[in-house]
Amino acid sequence: MALIYKRKATSYFPVTSDIAVSVGYKLNDKSVIGIGASFKLGFGRGWDNIKLSSQGLGLRSFIDWKLKGSFYISGGYEQNN
């Protein structure tokens, strides 16, 4: 069972942002596999209280497989903490 916590932004100020990078390896002409990581950055409570903080990390993997023409099947797994 997954628990999702969300805080609402106030005064048009984002509460968190996700920064991520992924790399892929082309196995052949029809398939690509890859891994990635993400970092969740917190910004504080508002414009008068900006405070950068770590709010979590994530790992992911993916595969893209070309079926025919411009049709692809994509799948992935992601784990966030």
Q: Please tell me whether residue 14 adopts helix, strand or coil conformation.
A: coil
Q: Please tell me whether residue 15 adopts helix, strand or coil conformation.
A: coil
- What would the pLDDT profile of 32-52 be if each residue is shown by its tens digit? 999 999 999 888 877 777 888
Quote the pLDDT of residue 9.
55
Which residue matches tokens 């891994």? Answer: 35
- What would the pLDDT profile of 2-28 be if each residue is shown by its tens digit? 555 556 655 566 788 889 999 999 999
Separation of alpha carbons 26 and 15, rounded Å: 36
Separation of alpha carbons 73 and 22, rounded Å: 18
Here the tokens at position 47 are 């414009």
Quote the pLDDT of residue 34.
97
Strands of the sheet containing 16-26, edge to edge, are 16-26, 31-46, 49-68, 71-80
